[in-house]
Amino acid sequence: IAGLMSDRPLLDVKENLDSIYKTAKNLGVTVDNPFMSVAFLSLEVAPNIKITNKGLVDVNNSKIVDLFLN
């Protein structure tokens, strides 16, 4: 439901998530919780660089980050 909740039983959700995490690990992902890491990329109020509709934003310095080197 909206990508945040499920109408499936808890055990089904856990089994599916376990499978997804195992697949990610088999593909070489080393981040502990890769999907939460991706989810926070667009959260503009969290520190560091975030992806927004304006492009990459350095939240700490309130500046849009250039995508290309001059």
| Model confidence band, residue 11 (pLDDT cutoffs 50, 70, 90) | very high
Q: Which of 64, 61, 60 is nearest to 51 (CA)?
A: 64
pLDDT score recorded for residue 2 = 67
Domain contains 1: no
* Contact status, residue 12 vs residue 18, Cβ threshold 8 Å: no
Q: Is residue 15 part of a domain?
A: yes
Mean pLDDT of 31-39: 84
| Cα–Cα distance measured from residue 26 to residue 18, given in angstroms and rounded to the nearest whole number | 12
Average pLDDT, the chain: 87
Task: Identify whether 34 is part of a domain.
Answer: yes
Amino acid at 42: S
Q: How many domains does the chain have?
A: 1
Residue 4 lies in a domain: no
User: What residue numbers bound the domain in which 29 lies?
Assistant: 10-64
In this structure, is residue 21 part of a structural domain? yes
